Structure 1
Amino acid sequence: MISAISDRYRARADAFEAKVLNVRADQWDNPSPCAKWTALEVVDHIIEMHGVMLGVAIPRTEDPLTDFREARRQVQEALASDRARDEVTTPGGPMTLEDHIDQVVSDDLVLHGWDLARATGQDETIPAPDVERLWATATSVPAELMERFRTPGAFGPGIEVYGREVKVPDDAPLQDRLLGYVGRDPVSKRV
Structure 2
Amino acid sequence: MLDLGPQTREVKALLDGIGDDQLAAPTPCEAYSVGDVLSHLLGLSLAFTDAAKKNLGASTDQNPDGGLPPLPEDWRRRLPAQLDELAAAWRSESAWEGETQAGGVTLPGDLAGVVALNEVLLHGWDLARATGQDYRGDAASLEASIGMLSQADSMEMRGTIFGPVVDVPGHAPPLDRAVALSGRSPDWSPASR
2:27 to 24, 32, 36: 32
Letter in 2 for 1:134: S
8 A contact 1:150–1:163 mirrored in 2 = yes
Over 3 Å counting, the alpha-carbon distance change for 1:75 and 1:86 in structure 2 is: farther
Partner of 2:144: 133
Unaligned runs of 5+ in 1: 153-159
TM-score (norm. length: structure 2)? 0.73
- Deviation of the 1:79 alpha carbon: 4.0
Unaligned runs of 5+ in 2: 51-56, 61-70
1:13 equivalenced with 2:23 (yes/no): no
- Deviation of the 1:142 alpha carbon: 6.2
Render the CA deviation track for 1:116-172: whole Å, top value 9, x for unaligned. Answer: 000000003323443233222322x16332xx31233xxxxxxx2x12212223343
8 A contact 1:40–1:64 mirrored in 2 = no
1:123 equivalenced with 2:143 (yes/no): no
Partner of 1:87: 99
Letter in 2 for 1:149: M
- Deviation of the 1:52 alpha carbon: 2.5
Partner of 1:150: 158
- Deviation of the 1:73 alpha carbon: 4.7
In the TM superposition, 1:1-191 aligns within 5 A as 4-5=1-2, 8-53=3-48, 54=50, 55-57=57-59, 61-76=72-87, 78-79=89-90, 84=95, 87-89=99-101, 94-96=107-109, 99-139=110-150, 141=151, 143-145=153-155, 148-152=156-160, 160=161, 162-189=162-189
Over 3 Å counting, the alpha-carbon distance change for 1:10 and 1:172 in structure 2 is: closer
Q: In 1, Cα distance between the equivalents of 2:129 and 2:35?
A: 13
The structure showing larger relative contact order (alpha-carbon pairs under 8 Å, at least 6 residues apart) is 2
- CA RMSD in angstroms, aligned pairs only: 3.1
Partner of 1:155: none
TM-score (norm. length: structure 1)? 0.73
Letter in 2 for 1:95: P
- Deviation of the 1:74 alpha carbon: 4.1
